[in-house]
Amino acid sequence: MKKINTAPISGMQELLPEDQAVFNTLKSTIAKTYHSHGFLNIETPIIDRAEILFAKAGGDTEKQVYKVVKTAEASEGSDQALRFDHTVPLARYVVEHENNLNFPFKVTQIGRNFRGERPQKGRFRELYQCDIDVIGRNNLPLAYDADTISTLLETFQNFNLKTPVVARISNRKILSGLIEAFNLEDKSKDIYSIIDHSEKVPLEKTKGNFAEIGLSQANTAMFIDFINISGSRQNTIKKLQNLNIKNNLWLAGLAELDEVLSLLESQGQASNISADMKIVRGLDYYTGTVFEFNLPEYKEIGSVCGGGRYENLASYFTDQVLPGVGGSIGLSRLFYVLKEHNLLNIQTGPSIEYSIIPISSNEYPYAFKVADALRKNGHSTTVILLDKKLGDKLSYAAKISQNGIVIGETEAINHSLTAKNFTTGEKVNLNLNA
C-alpha cells in the first residue's frame, strides 16, 4: 500500500527502463553525430545567476523560468534560477572562457532545460535539448550555416526513422528586404508573426490577418504568393528573382540562401532539403539563414528541429561581436511524438544480452568466470543470484535479458555452455575462454 502520492510532477519525463534505453539510443546517436562533425561538448550549470538568465528575456520567459531559493548554507551572491535554454548559458560561457577557446568554436550542449509551462500533452517542463552552435569572433563564414544544417540532417538520418525528414530553409533577409521594398517596416513584427503562424491556420485566416494589420489587397496577395514559394534551390531562386524586387537586403538574402542550398547539395543532401518562404522562426534574434525540420508524411507533428544564424550571441554580456549559427533538437518532445506515431526503428525488449543462471550457489564461481568472459567480449551480462527454483530463475531471466545460460554441476565441470534465446528458443553452443 502506498502511503503518499509517488507520481512525478506533471510535465516531467519519467520512463520505464525499456523506454529509457530507446531514449538513450537517440541521445547517444545525437552526441556521436555531433562529435563526428567536429562539435565539442560542454556542460553549463543548471543553476545560474538570474541576472544572466534574464539579461535579455522578456515577460513571457519570466513567467516560465523556475527561480531557486538559495539555501541556508549557500546563501551568498545574487538571485538564482534554472536555465531555460542552452543559448543564454552558452553566451555566458563563451564570454567567460573566450581566451581559452578556438574560434570558430563548434560547440554542442546536450541536457535538460527547465520551463514551467502550462501542462500540455507532449510538452515537458524538464526538456532535453540537444544544441549545436558555431560561434565566430567578429565574423563567421556563411558556409557554417550549411555545416550546421548538414550535421543536424545527418543526425536524423542516423536515427533511421520509418519516415523521411526534410530541412526547410529560408533566409530572413529575403522577407525583411521584401518588407523594406514595400515600405512596410512599421508592420514588420506583425507580418513575421502572421507568416510564422500561417501553417497552423486556414489560408483565409492568414489573408484576414494581413488585412487586419492594414495591408492592401494587392500586398496581401503578394505576401500570400510569396509564402507559397517553396521547393528545390533552382526553382525557388528563379521564382523569387521573377518577383523582380529591387532591394539590397532581398538580393543579399537570395544570394545567401542560394549558397547555403548549394553547399548542402554538394554534401549529398539535395533530396532532403527544400527552400521554403513560410519558414521565419519566431525568435527575434535570427538575422539570416533560418531552418526547420519536418516529417512531410506527418505534418501534424510540426517542427522537430530548428535554428538559424544570429548576428551576435552575447551582446548583453560583452562588447566583443560573436556572430553564430545554431540549431536544436528538442529530444523530449521528439521522443514522445516518434513513439506515439510508431516511427522508431529501434528494437525494444531487454537491453541485457545474457543471464547466467547457476543452479545452486556451488556454481557461482564458474558463473562469475563465464560472465566476465562475456563482458570482456562486449556483452552485457548479469548473473542470477537468487535462492529460488530453476523455473523461477528462468522466468526472471527471460524478462530481463535476451539469452540465458544455465550452469549446473555438469557445465561447471565440463565448461560446456549453451545459450538459449528467450524469444526464438534457438540454442547456441558457446566456446568461451572461461
Residues 164-223 that bind a copy of itself (CB under 8 A): none
Residues 28-57 as x/- pattern, contact with a copy of itself by CB under 8 A: -------xxxx-xxxxxxxxxx-xx--x--
Cβ proximity to a copy of itself: between 190 and 372 the closer is 372
Q: Are 176 and 187 in contact (CB under 8 A)?
A: no
Among positions 25, 56, 57, 116, the unique one binding a copy of itself when judged by CB under 8 A: 116
Among positions 267, 287, 303, 312, the unique one binding a copy of itself when judged by CB under 8 A: 267
CA quadruple 55, 56, 57, 58: dihedral, nearest 10: 120
119: DSSP letter: P
Report 366-405 residues binding a copy of itself (CB under 8 A). 368, 372, 375, 378-383, 385-387, 396, 399-401
Among positions 58, 69, 347, 433, the unique one binding a copy of itself when judged by CB under 8 A: 69
Of 285, 288, 284, 261, the closest CA to residue 273 belongs to 261
Among positions 64, 193, 232, 287, the unique one binding a copy of itself when judged by CB under 8 A: 64
Among positions 57, 68, 224, 390, the unique one binding a copy of itself when judged by CB under 8 A: 68
Cβ proximity to a copy of itself: between 75 and 429 the closer is 75
Cβ proximity to a copy of itself: between 89 and 308 the closer is 89
> What is the C-alpha to C-alpha distance for residues 269 and 164, in angstroms, rounded to an integer?
12
Report 71-110 residues binding a copy of itself (CB under 8 A). 71-74, 76-77, 80, 82, 92-93, 95-97, 100-102, 104, 106-107
Kindly determine how many residues on this chain lie close enough to bind a copy of itself according to the rule CB under 8 A.
108
Cβ proximity to a copy of itself: between 194 and 322 the closer is 322
Of 77, 82, 52, 38, the closest CA to residue 64 belongs to 82
List CB contacts of 289: < 8 A, sequence separation 6 or more.
142, 145, 149, 169, 170, 171, 172, 256, 257, 260, 308, 309, 325
In the chain, the largest separation of any two C-alpha atoms, in whole Å, equals 91
Phi-psi region of 70 (alpha: psi -120 to 50; beta: other; left: phi over 0): beta
Cβ proximity to a copy of itself: between 133 and 194 the closer is 133
